[in-house]
Structure 1
Amino acid sequence: MTQRHFVVRSLGVLALAFQAVGVLTQGATSSQTPLAETRQKADQGDADAQFKLGASYSTGSGVPQDVTQAVIWYRKAADQGHAGAQYNLGFRYATGQGVPQDFTQAVAWFRKAADQGDADAQFNLGVMHSKGEGVPQDYVEAHKWCSLAAS
């Protein structure tokens, strides 16, 4: 290989490297961490961000685990119609995690999520109807909700 070919190839490789660095750093102008960005969006009322923040507090992902904070953020998202947050809030009420156990509240939140097609909420609603937790025991309703969850 001649010296000229070596220089041309080296410049080509160098150009590709600089291009790759530019692609990798594109959009990285923010000094915030992804969690800080999520928090900012959540504070601005973004339901998806509120749900993600609730999940972070629920699992302790990136923040200290705090079920009370999880419930606060899930409720904000649930009040805006976020089905996942409605399901998680219903689950918290059903199990008494972060809130006093309240089957009536659990049913109400599961119903909101179930009406949006959330299969987990539909199943839990069916189970609660079959056990008579938060609602009168009703096997027909239980079958209806469990069938919807399975479809």
Structure 2
Amino acid sequence: MKKILISGLFLGLFSLQANADYVSPSNSISNQAARYSVMDVASLSQAAKSGQAGAQFYLGTKYEYGKDVKQDDKQAFAWYKSAADQGLTAAQLNVGRMLIDGKGTSKNEALGRQYLEKAASRGDNRASFNLAMLDEKKRNFIGAYQWYELSTRDGMLDNKVISLSEGKKTALAANLTQEQIRQARDRADRWIQGL
């Protein structure tokens, strides 16, 4: 729980989109993150190279969307990964999606799942939602229900994700028995307890 709260506080620096999209910063962020979001590319690059995870994330965002630099998915992935490997949840979410989609890097669903699970373990319900979509696509409906269930109760809650997940759970319930739903909820409980 302590890990979720600390990560939730740090992630609070970044307001991110919910769904399979890659995330980018919004206008309502803390002073530290705001500093990075308005920093010129040279200063941001210097801060990123010095190991500042927030700067690495924002530099990755600039490269991904071609803002003030030439759009470059490989550079975006590299900077997101640097931030993700320092534990920045928003970057872990982006790295997971990029690995799964093969955007800016070689496609690697297994490694992408690992990054999404790291973000989910820190309470990012958007990561849980993405994991649910992966399982649903593979017709692993119990697994999908488990992740949708988690995305409705993770520590860093995005209301859009909660609403989407509730709808997805209702739709999946039509394909599952009550026992399978109970199983999925039990798996979600065990996953949280294992953190």
Same fold (TM over 0.5): yes
Shift of 1:40: 1.2
Given the alignment of the two structures, is residue 148 of structure 1 paired with residue 155 of structure 2, yes or no? no
Aligned residues: 115
Q: Mark the runs of 5 or more structure 2 residues left unpaired by the alignment.
A: 1-38, 154-195
Alpha-carbon distance in structure 2 between the residues aligned to 1:68 and 1:131: 26
Question: Hey, what does 1:34 align to over in structure 2?
Answer: 40
Alpha-carbon distance in structure 1 between the residues aligned to 2:126 and 2:41: 27
Alpha-carbon distance in structure 1 between the residues aligned to 2:42 and 2:148: 39
Shift of 1:83: 0.6
Alpha-carbon distance in structure 1 between the residues aligned to 2:121 and 2:134: 16
Q: Mark the runs of 5 or more structure 1 residues left unpaired by the alignment.
A: 1-32
Question: What RMSD in Å do the two structures reach over aligned CA positions?
Answer: 1.5
Instruction: Give the structure-1-normalised TM-score.
Output: 0.71
2:133 corresponds, among 127, 134, 144, to 127
Q: How much identity, in percent, do the aligned residues show?
A: 37
Alpha-carbon distance in structure 1 between the residues aligned to 2:47 and 2:53: 9
Alpha-carbon distance in structure 1 between the residues aligned to 2:59 and 2:120: 22
Given the alignment of the two structures, is residue 94 of structure 1 paired with residue 126 of structure 2, yes or no? no
Q: Deviations over 1:30-68 (max 9, x none)?
A: xxx622221111111000100000010000011100001
Given the alignment of the two structures, is residue 112 of structure 1 paired with residue 122 of structure 2, yes or no? no
Give the number of the structure with larger relative contact order, counting CA–CA contacts within 8 Å between residues 6 or more apart: 2
The aligned amino acid for 1:57 is Y
Q: Deviations over 1:59-115 (max 9, x none)?
A: 001110000101110110010001111110111111111112111111111111111
Q: Quick check: which one's helix share is greater? A: 1
Instruction: Give the structure-2-normalised TM-score.
Output: 0.55
The aligned amino acid for 1:150 is T
Larger Rg: 1
